[in-house]
Amino acid sequence: MDALSSILKASKLEAIVCSQNCMSGDWGLDIMPEGNAYFWRVSKGSCVIGLHGGQPLTMQEGDIVVIPHGARHWIAGNATAPLMTLAQYVQSPGRFAGDDTIVAAGHFTFDETQQHPFIRDLPPLLHISSFGIKNQQFLTHMGFLLQMELNGNKPGTQVMLKGLAEMLFISVIRAYLEQDNAEKGFLSALADPRISQALALMHNQPSVDWTAAALGKKVGMSRTLFFNRFKELVGETPLAYLTNWRINRAKEMLSAGMNRVDVAEKIGYQSAAAFNKIFKTKTGSTPAMYRAKS
């Protein structure tokens, strides 16, 4: 499994709400932070969106915006339109009725206990233009399928919307990696073929006694070059990252009811005592206590 797939699987990415909004007139919505990530996709017309206190940007037909950390933001027909909250909008059906602008909206959730640097390093707002990216055709097709499901109420629609929205999120990350030129941060680590390969090795084989030298050899780099490059992009040493990945996998297995001895073996600790020590250091709780609370 590649690095991004394993991260999203561990982070339990899930789309929980999808809706289509047909708007006309002087409309505007003020979106308060609720702990969920948001996405918006314009399927007709154009609109303006911005973070609270930030600079607005224009969304054209086919554009997608994701607010990964659920920050307060607004979306409107124009930059001077009066704003209302979502609660006010829901209580005023038909107020902006029309189809000058059609916007699909949705929420994503992540497992907050994972605290993976991939989630942490996502920018407050991701804007993917419908033009100028290699996977434009795929994103367009995904948007078309999403709109088709939102327009109808067919058997299985909710499951289809959930899957399509999650695929759309992954496509947005791919597109962002393609158009972003960041030199540091976890997204840049995913974009680096050798560092991404090393991440995949640690994710898929956490029980292996990985060292910087062994990982460097696997990806065709010297130990020093690999160590420095990994730390520069990821923000922590390979061993620190591997330890955190192991602990997060341990949390998942303990929550599923696995006993601590089996968990220790699966994530690379030769004794339950060593596992207990590092787990308590990282979480403030023993494996047995964590399992009992889950």
Mean pLDDT of the chain: 89
CATH class of 3-179: mainly beta
**pLDDT value at position 116?**
86
**pLDDT value at position 195?**
96
Kindly state the average pLDDT of the residues 147-170: 85
Q: How far apart (Å, rounded) are the C-alpha atoms in residues 234 and 224?
A: 15
Kindly state the average pLDDT of the residues 120-137: 77
For every residue of 172-198, DSSP letters joined together read HHHHHHHH---SSSHHHHHHSHHHHHH
Count the neighbouring beta carbons within 10 Å of the beta carbon of residue 134: 10
Q: How confident is the model at residue 147 (pLDDT cuts 50, 70, 90)?
A: confident
**DSSP-H helix ranges across 71-135:** 86-90, 117-121
Q: How far apart (Å, rounded) are the C-alpha atoms in residues 178 and 55?
A: 23
Q: Is 16 helix (H, G, I), strand (E, B) or coil?
A: strand
More reliable by pLDDT, 231 or 98: 231
Q: Are 116 and 60 in contact (CB under 8 A)?
A: no
Integer distance in angstroms from the first to the last C-alpha of the chain? Answer: 27
pLDDT at 131 over 70: no
| Residue 152 structure tokens | 């109808």
The hierarchical CATH code for the domain 192-293 is 1.10.10.60
Own/partner pairs, 47-50, CB within 8 angstroms, 24+ separation: 47/23, 47/75, 47/76, 47/77, 47/101, 47/103, 48/75, 48/76, 48/77, 48/78, 48/79, 49/73, 49/74, 49/75, 49/76, 50/74, 50/79
Domain boundaries, the chain: 3-179, 192-293
Kindly state the average pLDDT of the residues 219-244: 96
pLDDT at 134 over 70: no
Q: What is the pTM of this model?
A: 0.83
